[in-house]
Structure 1
């Protein structure tokens, strides 16, 4: 049996921004391959500044790629106004801050109906808005129609934003830090909502987060991003219980339930206009710093040879010379 194509596929994606005052261009996304299958939730994880949001926005055509391509339902994304409008009906964005996403002068009804009006929805608008609010957990929906954002709690505002994404019945949502601005008591409710939407509607999702704990609770697969490139990917349980890349190990070590002491990375995330040679993580790598890479015979390779770009399939992969030498990890694509 042939494997069906992914719902969304990214191949060799690069997004470069011009440098300021004559400096080198910033390589925000620097060769990413990623697949999202129908009905799958993928967590894109990494610290601030690693390129997660730029990658997420490029999947909706909000940031056109410098090179590479994005495909949806096995068809390449094109960047005409008509094609982008059709694409964004099938792929919707949920932003981090619901207060910033909602116009304070618009009622909940108008906020949710906006997408229908933009896309000239031919059906019953009131029914569609009520159904979207109900699916997002705001019931009875009519009770919220005439409310304004300031009259809602933070969790309710985020549900309105999700309803605005659901009203067009998309196949994929891209959620950028969807619970980062919410109280801890509300985060679990929103995560449970996303899981329920996946189970009931077959909805796929890319969840962008810096929180590996969130990824554990919601994702089927995880992709760890560092300095514009995915450095480890695989099933969430496999990656988070037995991380192979030193960067993934460091991210996991700071979780409250981590069994070992936190790994303190040296220095700051490098400037994307000056990406280090060799493995892009080697300037901060605890494995190189403590001599383990030298003992494994890969220290020179870490400093001078790129581990390559990881393929976008479902297989577990890691872009790390040390992990490949010591664990027999699946190598990335050349």
Structure 2
């Protein structure tokens, strides 16, 4: 359904160019949930915004249903009806002066959909706010955190999209509510055939909800594959370090330093300055000097960009 091909996004930064996204291939199939994971600052949100058409790629292209994304007003508007965004902070994304009805009705009004009240009621009901009429005249401050996130999801569902891009959809919620929102996303996938890209730093969330996982570091996908393959047998040292923070992990891997400045990408493997294997003296020459290829988009099998991984790196 949605595919990024060799997508790069650069921003001007103090006279230099910061490569926030640097040659990413990513595909999302119909009815599929893909988790995009990585630490803060790795480029996840910039990639999500680019997939939505909110940022234009410096190079590469985004395609929807096999057609390159057009940035003209009418075509972009039609595309955004099919692909909707769910933001991290529901209190920040809802207008405190708008009622729940007004918030959910905004999208249908922009797109000129008929039967507005019926559309709003149906969207709220699908998002788990029942009976929907009970919530029409409420304001965001009158709702719990979980209810506010359901309103945000209802606003996206009001346009009957085929794909949701959810940026840290449960990060601001209590643990007791997180499971409810994740269950809601899975139910929407089963009932509506809705696909989703879930942007998160939480590998536990990815394990519970995703069909496939793509691990991002410093603007690139460094490992991708089915959730079970990636999270039970990680090949990239970065993925191994991310998984080591989970309570059931037998060994804690502490990465040294911070992610490098995106205006000064390291030569060779971009992870080598922090890699625990390089620090132990394994394969240091290749990791310092030999560039790694961009991983191709894949819906089957695993791919990893690492000189020291046990599975072959794609060439």
Calculate the TM-score normalised by the size of structure 2. Answer: 0.98
* Mapping for residues 142-161 of structure 1, pairs under 5 Å: 142-161=133-152
What is aligned with 2:25?
33
CA contact (8 A) 2:307 2:313 kept: no
Task: Tell me by how many angstroms 1:257 deviates.
Answer: 1.5
Moved >6 Å (runs of 4+): none
* Partner Cα separation in structure 1 for residue 228 and residue 173 of structure 2: 25
What is aligned with 2:190?
199
2:242 maps to 1:251: yes
* Partner Cα separation in structure 1 for residue 203 and residue 291 of structure 2: 26
* Mapping for residues 1-334 of structure 1, pairs under 5 Å: 7-20=1-14, 22=15, 24-121=16-113, 123-258=114-249, 260-291=250-281, 293=282, 298-314=283-299, 315-323=301-309, 327=310, 329-332=311-314, 334=315
Deviations 1:237-261 (A, max 9, x none): 1100000000000000001121x22
Task: Tell me by how many angstroms 1:299 deviates.
Answer: 2.1
* Partner Cα separation in structure 2 for residue 58 and residue 84 of structure 1: 12
Provide the aligned length of Structure 1 versus Structure 2: 314
* Partner Cα separation in structure 2 for residue 215 and residue 181 of structure 1: 16
Q: What is the RMSD of the two structures over their aligned residues, measured on CA atoms?
A: 0.8
Report which stretch shifted further, 303-312 or 89-98: 303-312
CA contact (8 A) 1:41 1:219 kept: yes
Unmatched 5+ stretches in structure 2: none
* Partner Cα separation in structure 1 for residue 226 and residue 12 of structure 2: 35
Deviations 1:284-317 (A, max 9, x none): 00011012x2xxxx32111011121001112310
Calculate the TM-score normalised by the size of structure 1. Answer: 0.93
CA contact (8 A) 1:310 1:318 kept: yes
CA contact (8 A) 1:316 1:330 kept: no
* Partner Cα separation in structure 1 for residue 297 and residue 285 of structure 2: 27
CA contact (8 A) 2:4 2:24 kept: yes
